[in-house]
Amino acid sequence: MSKLLRKALKSAILPASLLVTGKFLSVFFLISYLGNNFFVTNDVTSIFTIQLYLTDIQSALFVNSFSNLITLLVIALPTFYMLIRLTLFKSAQSNPRIVVKLTRLNILKWVTSQESNLVNMLIWTVFLWIIAGVTIASSVNMQTYSWVGILGGALALLSTWGLLKTFESETDRIYPEESNRYL
């Protein structure tokens, strides 16, 4: 198996687990917070045979919205943390002034402590897109508050933009834009 594939598989396990765990815990925490009854039924007519039902529509809307929001944040926060560190790391590699600034702020060690890589970042961004997509679809179907869907879309777009900028700076290092750098 290729190294890249193995790396991707290894990187994907943590965000996948966080996604499922975050959603599961947030749903049941919110249901117990509301003190609502819930029913688990078998519904062979739909794709998923086991479905969770709440007794009233307002509770379902509340639980769906906030559980999607919590899951979104669980994926978005590590993604942006890694993105910021990766961006600073890549910038520091190409610009010595940034190294000076990082040293002054006393965060150079944090930036360089762990090798940041684009594959890891890409996997996390894909997971952010997955949860943002689920949230947006849920908002369109009016099962989630619209502001949660908008927030999900915005976070996913920001993360993608950050990743593309970092990728651009990385490729610029290998294939510089300025023609005078070529022989």
Q: Tell me how far apart the alpha carbons of residues 28 and 24 are, in angstroms, rounded to a whole number.
A: 6
Would you state the structure tokens that stand for residue 20, as one six-digit string?
A: 């499922």
Q: By CB under 8 A, is residue 163 in contact with other proteins? A: no
Query: By CB under 8 A, what part of segment 91-110 binds other proteins?
Result: none
In the list 13, 84, 105, 157, the residue contacting other proteins (rule: CB under 8 A) is: 13
In the list 32, 33, 58, 150, the residue contacting other proteins (rule: CB under 8 A) is: 58
Neighbours of 42 (CB within 10 A): 8
Q: Which amino acid is at 49?
A: T
The 67-86 contact track toward other proteins, x by CB under 8 A, reads xx--x---------------
Helices (H) and strands (E) in the chain, counts: 6, 2
Query: By CB under 8 A, what part of segment 112-151 binds other proteins?
Result: 126-127, 130-131, 133-134, 138, 142-143
Q: Tell me how far apart the alpha carbons of residues 47 and 39 are, in angstroms, rounded to a whole number.
A: 18
Q: Tell me how far apart the alpha carbons of residues 174 and 93 are, in angstroms, rounded to a whole number.
A: 12
The footprint of other proteins (CB under 8 A) covers 1-2, 5-6, 8-9, 12-13, 16, 19-20, 23-24, 27, 31, 37-39, 48, 50-61, 63-64, 67-68, 71, 126-127, 130-131, 133-134, 138, 142-143
